[in-house]
Structure 1
Amino acid sequence: MKTMDHKSSVRERVWAELLKVAVPDSRFHFDFGSFIADFDGGEAAIARLTAHPHYRNAETIFIAPDNCVERLRKQALDDGKTVLMTTYSIKRGFWVLDPARIAPEMRLFASTLDGMERMGRPVDLADIRQMKPVDFLVTGTGAINHEGVRFGKGHGFFDAEWGMLHALGRVQADTPVAAVVHDCQVLEEILYPDVFDTVADVVFTPTRTIEIALPHKPTCNILWDRLDPHMFDTIPPLQELKAMGL
């Protein structure tokens, strides 16, 4: 079976189970190809994550713009951590949420996709290059196995974000990555990662914390000859990275 056919098959099977526990999105309803859903038990999964040393030891965290980690963005701000994230729009760019600049009563709003653009500040890659390194990255995903191999919506956004941050020297091969998922998204089977796929170090579900023994982290930065031209055309940071010669 071809890799793309395999990934599509896995996604469709997991999405059928996720439909039973997912929280719909007002923009996309249950179109799991358009967003990463929150789910029943999401609070417990985040509680497991925030108790983990990767989170406790982090000062700067990249948190994907996924519904299942919205409450994590709020908690990170309350805990005094700097949050780096991307917007959810087609013109995907980076934003920083600084807890020192966001009043406590506004942090819930700031943690949402609409609020972050009002309460945070946009940053380009030159700004990110001057920031402290990212200590921890957190994402939702579509499916994941016990080796930390994850399949998202199929767009490759998180892997591109890792590639850009790696090219800038803000993450390294040992920078931990976490995935937050429902138990039904964890598979007992082999998944086949590509060279640019970012494997998780740890998986948090409502009932389990799954530590990955040998997570694979891409060190290839952005593979320009394999990048979807549509991604390049619609994601300004990729255009900026290319102009930087990285």
Structure 2
Amino acid sequence: MSPDGETVLLHLESVGALNKAIDVLAAKAMFDLRREVQRSARYNRGMQIDEAKRAARERVWSALDAEAVDPRGAAGRIPSFAGAAAAAERLAALDLWRDARVVKSNPDRAQLAVRETALRDGKILYMAVPAMGNPAPFYALDPERVGLEAAQSKYAAGVAPTVGPGQMKPIDVVVCGTVAVDRRGVRVGKGGRLLGHRGCPPVRGRSDRLADDDHHHRA
């Protein structure tokens, strides 16, 4: 082959290699673009969900302050409400409650009547420690060892041990405080991004998902 022929062949090989490199770079750019579009879509959807949750909280807090909370000041909390005791009575009338041996509840005042009913009915009660800032984040309340006053966290701290998930009995009923909830059971909490039953043993005999505040969406 003549020198000129060799030059043309080398040129064609160089062009081919360059085209392959361009194809690789273009494919990577398209991949990165698709990934960024998907990430942006997830972010925008998350922002829409957060805004919908904020609106739901504000609507419920306003309604509670107007009609069901005294003194006013529901915003930012899961407050007690008019009818909390009646709600606890309705819960206690269910077969699910009567059959339960172990109950887990959040420590909010709104669920105080539920916790007292659990102890009165002879059920083991696990109550989340406020803020849950330790590896044993639940008070273990045994009705044979504590009185009804232990249903209040300020008293539970002095009479009940704290336990971690590995020390807890299987739970029959979970009572979860909420700000807003729909008829499917999807809840919105007060916005603290903490759900008291996360890390608990499974609910006995149930395969239901325990909602977290992302699906639920994240409180």
The bucket for the TM-score relative to the shorter chain is 0.5 to 0.7
What CA RMSD, in Å, does the superposition of the two structures yield over aligned residues? 2.7
Taking the TM superposition and a 5 Å limit, the aligned residue runs for 1:139-150 are 139-150=176-187
Give, in whole Å, the separation in 2 of the partners of 1:78 and 1:174.
28
Local SS of the residue matching 2:144: helix
- When normalised by structure 1's length, the TM-score is 0.61
State how far apart, in whole Å, the 2-side matches of 1:77 and 1:175 are: 25
The structure, 1 or 2, with the larger RCO (C-alpha pairs under 8 Å, 6+ apart) is 1
Q: Does structure 1 retain, via aligned residues, the 8 Å contact 2:65–2:74?
A: no
| Aligned residue among 108, 126, 146 for 2:166 | 126
Contact 2:64/2:74 (CA < 8 Å) preserved in 1?
A: no
Which protein has the bigger strand share?
1
Of 54, 70, 79, the match for 2:112: 70
Task: Give 1:194 shift.
Answer: 3.5
4+ residue runs over 4 A deviation: 168-173
Aligned equivalents of 1:169 and 1:46: distance in 2?
A: 23
Equivalent residue for 1:17? Answer: 63
Check 1:113–1:162 CA distance in 2 against 1; reply closer, same or farther (3 A cut): closer
- What is the aligned length? 168
Which structure has the larger Rg?
2
| 2:69 counterpart letter in structure 1 | A
The reply to whether residue 163 of structure 1 matches residue 207 of structure 2 is no
TM-superposed deviation, 1:91: 2.2
- Alignment identity in percent? 30
1:2 aligns with 2:48: yes
Which residue of 75, 78, 99 corresponds with 1:57? 99
Give the alignment's TM-score, normalised by structure 2.
0.68
Alignment CA distance shift 1:170-1:43 (3 Å)? closer
Are the equivalent residues in 2 in contact too, given 1:83–1:98 (CA < 8 A)?
Answer: yes
Where structure 1 has 5 or more consecutive residues not aligned to the other structure, the ranges are 178-192, 199-226, 228-246
Instruction: Please show how residues 170-209 of structure 1 align to structure 2 within 5 Å.
Output: 173-174=206-207, 194-195=214-215, 197=216
Partner of 2:23: none
Q: Contact between 1:66 and 1:139, CA under 8 Å: does it hold in 2?
A: no
